[in-house]
Amino acid sequence: MRNLIILLFIGFAISLSSCRQDFVFEPSTGDLTFSKDTIYLDTVFTNIGSSTYTLKVYNRSNKDIKIPLIKLGKDDSKYRMTVDGMTGENNRVFRDVEMLAKDSMYIFVEVTADVADSNPTDFLYTDQIQFDTGSNFQKVELVTLIQDAYFIYPNRTQNPDESYTYEEISLGLDGDGNPINIRASILDENDPVNGNELIWNNSKPYVVYGYAVVPDGKSLQVQPGARIHFHADSGLIVGTGASLKINGELSNTEALENEVIFEGDRLEPLYSDVPGQWGTIWLTQGSTGNEINYATIKNATVGLLIDSNDGNFMTIKNTQIYDSSNLGIYAKTAKIKGENIVINTAGVATLACTLGGNYEFKHCTFNNNWSSSKQVAVLLNNYYKDENNAAVPYDLVQADFINCIIYGSNTYELTFDPASTNLFNYTFTKCLMKFGNSTNTIYASILSNPEIIRNESPKFLNIIKNKLNIGDDSAARGIGIDANVPNDILGMPRTSPYDLGAYNWITFPEEN
């Protein structure tokens, strides 16, 4: 009996399926709806591909429909699209696209265009996604701003097998004795396309592929308002005997029109605070006379790598370094005088003074809210481990912090890592610091120092948005000394009683 019932159910299911008819798709009647009527693809550099943008198309009718044609308006359009995963004819034309009743589909759009393709008055490149170009015509507008730039990239030579050999420089040998080579371009005073590549101005942005190298004995002058964008795994190297002069100036608006800005080459807002988009600015051993003023360095792996500069102090003033995936400033046996520096969020440390060196920081703000239990704001170290795991010591001649804020999300935002055989000198004068109780004797001077305010909040304006201003109820307000830094990072005069960090206190706006 049980088997008979099962056979009856099977027979009934077969009879239903035999009566089923295929879907009947009727021509579209122009009643499609869209998630947006215009797609704004954010600013891209000339001939660099954009991110992918999404349009959702809806068939809200009760009928299965067939769209006779979906296409880009221009036959030679620089846009590309896929429709529900289909590539169509050259990613531009799609015929007889079927949609079920009450269904939707995705269209993904990208663009790669030259500034010459854009409107010469506003540099906008436009097109349309067109649906059913007959009597039921519908459209969605496409708009992109194309920005011209100076492009700096390694030369390449085509090989017989059609592969390419790229211009490289050597960084020495790895631990196994193998050469370390990276793609790089030596900056040229008489480049046939860019002109003098040792002066970076604000006439249009610079886009760097690989590493741009300042050659021995030369100086790279970066003028106010310059914008430098690095591709992935790219950066700037200042060689032996070479120098970097970043000559930014105080800006009058939040656009930072006079500052020099270094960041990645993805201009979409989605990438505005993504760490690790490019490599580093590397001031190599033997580079000389480096000066940085009014610079913003964003989204690098290491913001500044300062490697045994030539014995003279380099200066870093009025400089902001944000969202580094590894370190904000990585100093190795360096000599630095810093004023009005703000560093926020790094995977390891915002400031790492390693292999000894000599440092003086006045009115600086070091904050680290990276989401880990090991990140710190400041790390001091005076040795490294060789291949045999033996400590090779270097003197930390001095590390002076005056009127500084050292803060973050962990209990301890300062780490000492000394080798006892060499100098490990430091002072903290009128500093606010995030630092819990510790039984480690190397921190006894921190715990007993009356010049340090521990575990009181600076109450920053908005850490996520890299706004480390302090307010009228900040614990950093009015407790500093005169450190001979007359203006804060915004150019506002400092008056007694002096505030800690790079900013004078302000009354916060209601929306921050």
- Amino acid identity, position 26: E
Residues 199 and 112 in one domain: no
End position of a domain, from candidates 114, 147, 180: 147
Q: Which of 316, 241, 249, 303 is nearest to 276 (CA)?
A: 303
pLDDT at position 22 is 55
Model confidence at 3: pLDDT above 90: no
Query: CATH no. for residue 73?
Result: 2.60.40.1510
* Same domain for 276 and 133: no
493 domain residue, yes or no = no
pLDDT tens track for 63-117: 999 999 999 999 999 999 999 999 999 999 999 999 999 999 999 999 999 989 9
- pLDDT digit string, tens, across residues 385-426: 888 888 888 999 999 999 999 999 999 999 999 987 789 999
**Confidence band for 14, pLDDT divided at 50, 70 and 90:** very low
Examine the domain organization and report whether 94 and 133 are in the same domain: yes
- Whether residues 227 and 81 fall in one domain: no
pLDDT band at 5 (very low <50, low <70, confident <90, very high): very low
Question: Strand pairing of 124-131 and 138-147?
Answer: antiparallel
Dihedral of the alpha carbons of 253, 255, 261, 266, in degrees to the nearest 10: 170
Residue 87 located in a structural domain: yes
Query: What pLDDT, on the 0 to 100 scale, is given for residue 7?
Result: 47
pLDDT of residue 385: 85
- Judged against a pLDDT cut of 90, whether residue 179 lies above it is answered with no
Same domain, 165 and 117: no
Residues 191, 116, single domain; the answer is no
Which whole number is the average pLDDT over 19-27?
65
Residue 437 pLDDT exceeds 60: yes
- Is the backbone of residue 277 left (phi > 0), alpha (psi -120 to 50) or beta? alpha
Residues 220, 357, single domain; the answer is yes
Whether 440 has a pLDDT exceeding 90, the answer reads: no
Residue 254 has pLDDT above 50, yes or no: yes
Query: What are the DSSP E strand ranges found in 23-167?
Result: 26-27, 33-34, 38-45, 53-59, 65-72, 79-83, 93-99, 103-111, 124-131, 138-147, 150-152, 156-158, 164-166
- Confidence at 23, pLDDT banded by 50, 70, 90: low
Q: How far apart are CA 190 and CA 324, in angstroms?
A: 33
- pLDDT band per the 50, 70, 90 thresholds, residue 125: very high
Does 19 have pLDDT greater than 60? no
Task: Tell me whether strands 53-59 and 79-83 are parallel, antiparallel or unpaired.
Answer: unpaired
Residue 173: pLDDT over 60: yes
Q: For residue range 213-245, list pLDDT tens digits in order.
A: 999 999 999 999 999 999 999 999 999 899 999
Whole-number Å distance between alpha carbons of 508 and 458: 13
Distance from first CA to last CA of the chain, Å, rounded? Answer: 75
Q: What is the 3-state secondary structure (H, E, C) of 74-109?
A: CCCCCEEEEECCECCECCCEEEEEEECCCEEEEEEE
Minimum mean pLDDT among 15-29, 135-149, 329-343, 381-395: which range? 15-29
Tell me, what's the pLDDT at 93? 96
**C-alpha span between 58 and 86 (Å, rounded):** 17
User: What mean pLDDT is predicted for residues 205-219?
Assistant: 95
Instruction: Give the phi and the psi of residue 18 in degrees, each rounded to 5.
Output: -70, -20
Is 490 part of a structural domain of the chain? Answer: no
Pairing status of strand 168-173 against strand 414-417: unpaired
For residue 118, being part of any structural domain is answered with yes
Average pLDDT (361-390) is 92
Three-state DSSP at 423 gives: coil
Backbone dihedral angles phi then psi of residue 176, each to the nearest 5 degrees: -100, 10
Side-chain-facing half-sphere of 218: CA atoms under 13 Å: 18
Instruction: Please tell me which residue, 293 or 445, carries the higher pLDDT value.
Output: 293
- Mean pLDDT over the full length of the chain: 91
User: What are 28-48's pLDDT values in tens digits?
Assistant: 888 999 999 999 998 999 888
Last-in-domain residue among 119, 147, 175: 147
Residue linked to tokens 């004819």: 89
497 upstream amide cis, omega within 30 of 0: yes
Task: Give 120's DSSP letter.
Answer: T
* pLDDT 10s digits, 264-276: 998 888 899 999 9
Question: Cα(370)–Cα(231) distance, rounded to whole angstroms?
Answer: 24
Q: Is residue 482 part of a domain?
A: no
CB half-sphere exposure, 251, CA atoms < 13 A: 19
Whether the pLDDT of residue 175 is over 90: the answer is no
Whether residues 123 and 172 share a domain: the answer is: no
Question: Are 326 and 217 in the same domain?
Answer: yes
User: Two tokens at 474?
Assistant: 């900040």
Q: Are 57 and 104 in contact (CB under 8 A)?
A: yes
| Residue 434, pLDDT score | 95
Q: How far is Cα 450 from Cα 75, in angstroms, rounded to an integer?
A: 73
Provide the whole-model pTM. Answer: 0.87
Whether 285 is in a domain gets the answer yes
Q: pLDDT tens-digit profile of 135-160?
A: 899 999 999 999 999 999 888 787 88
Residue 310 has pLDDT above 70, yes or no: no
Does residue 489 form part of some domain? no
3-class SS at 252? coil
196 and 99 assigned to the same domain = no
User: Among candidates 149, 226, 244, which has minimal Cα distance to 187?
Assistant: 244
Residue 486 lies in a domain: no
Report which of residues 161 and 507 the model is more confident about. 507
Q: Is the pLDDT of residue 10 over 50?
A: no
Q: Per the structure, how many domains does the chain have? A: 2
Residues 289 and 334 in one domain: yes
Residue 17: the pLDDT is 45
Residue 334 identity: A
| Residue 512 confidence class, pLDDT cut points 50, 70, 90 | low
Same domain (yes/no): 143, 164: no
Question: Residue 214 sits in which domain range?
Answer: 150-470
